[in-house]
Amino acid sequence: MNQYRQEDKQYQEKVVKIKRVSKKTTGGNYVTFSALVVVGDRKGKVGIGLGRSLEVPPAIQKAISYAKKHLINVPIRNKTIPHEVRVKFKAARILLKPAPEGTGLKVGSVARVILDLAGVENASGKIIGSIKLLILMQL
């Protein structure tokens, strides 16, 4: 039991997006919530989870547990990414570049949260289109 509590403390969690989803049915509207969560240890491990439920807290918990089960290793060299990254999925594109010391994270939207929780301190990038598509592609 104590081992699980220690594991929870080593990861930081950040709720990126909570979305209210409504579906029309014959009985009326069916409302659910979707939560996008990023989990990381700031030492090179990061995970992204998407959870859906009838209420917000269970959706967040599902997303956190999914993210912890699907952690990936992010290579870090001198507090930045080791090389340029270009990814294209459908209409979304993302470009990440290494940056010199002291630059900070010059990336917008969800990519900043992901890189921050992964432990990357210096990087620059550009997001064209929706990054959520790219994230969901990885799930």
pLDDT value, residue 127: 85
Would the pLDDT of 82 be above 90? yes
> What pTM was computed for the model?
0.83
Would the pLDDT of 11 be above 80? yes
Domain 2-72 belongs to what architecture? 2-Layer Sandwich (3.30)
* Confidence band, pLDDT 50/70/90 cuts, at residue 15: very high
Picking from 2-16, 40-54, 64-78, 84-98, which range would have the lowest pLDDT averaged per residue?
2-16
pLDDT value, residue 111: 87
The CATH code for residues 75-138 is: 3.30.230.10
Extents of the domains making up the chain: 2-72, 75-138
Helix boundaries (H) for the chain:
2-10, 56-69, 109-118, 131-138
- Would you say how long the chain is, in residues? 139
Whether 2-72 shares its CATH topology with 75-138 is answered no
* Confidence band, pLDDT 50/70/90 cuts, at residue 7: low
The sign of the torsion formed by the CA atoms of 70, 45, 4, 62 equals: negative
What are the CA-CA distances from residue 55 to residues 102, 124, 127 (Å)? 41, 36, 31
What average pLDDT score do residues 54-60 get?
A: 96
pLDDT value, residue 139: 45
28: Cβ contacts below 8 Å, ≥ 6 apart: none
Would the pLDDT of 33 be above 90? yes
Sequence letter at residue 38:
V
Question: Exposure pattern of 41-59 as b/e (b: 16+ CB <10 Å)?
Answer: ebeebbbbbbbebeeeeeb
What average pLDDT score do residues 29-50 get?
A: 94
